[in-house]
Amino acid sequence: MRYARAELLQWVGLLGGAVIWTAQLVVGLGATLADCNPASSRFGISLDTWEITLMAAAGTLILLAEGAAVSVLLETRNVEESDPPPWGRRHFLAAGAVVANVLFLAIVLLTGIGAIAQQGCRQG
């Protein structure tokens, strides 16, 4: 694997899940606030449609980030974390990214399902 490609895959795998989940959370919050606003009813897009689309897009992108992390982990399978940089660092970060992306995927799915299952807007 070329140096630049391995470096890019390392960072995509490590940071991809966190950035994608943050984007899903912020856009989902905006969609929820817009859904609770009476003026937004003229657009005709339901909150469920927004949340399902966000959940599917974020889940797909997180799976791509997981693939990047797994590819770096497989490329560095004969390297130890204590080996000299950059390969030792890559192995360490890729191992953490594999676990983190699974957790971010679970968070994205639970956030989306929770938003779809909610009871709607409550003024209070």
Residues in the chain: 124
**What digits encode the pLDDT tens for the residues 64-121?**
999 999 999 999 989 887 778 888 889 999 999 999 999 999 999 999 999 899 877 7
Instruction: Give me the helix-helix angle, 87-117 and 3-36, nearest 10°.
Output: 20
Map out the domains of the chain as residue ranges.
3-117
Stretch 41-62: mean pLDDT, rounded?
Answer: 89
Specify the pLDDT at position 1: 65
Specify the pLDDT at position 23: 97
Q: Is the pLDDT of residue 124 over 60?
A: no
Specify the pLDDT at position 123: 65
Distance in angstroms (rounded) separating the CA atoms of residues 117 and 78: 46
Contacts of 62 (CB under 8 A, 6+ apart): 16, 17, 20, 21, 101, 104, 105, 108
Stretch 54-66: mean pLDDT, rounded?
Answer: 97
Distance in angstroms (rounded) separating the CA atoms of residues 96 and 5: 19
Stretch 14-19: mean pLDDT, rounded?
Answer: 96
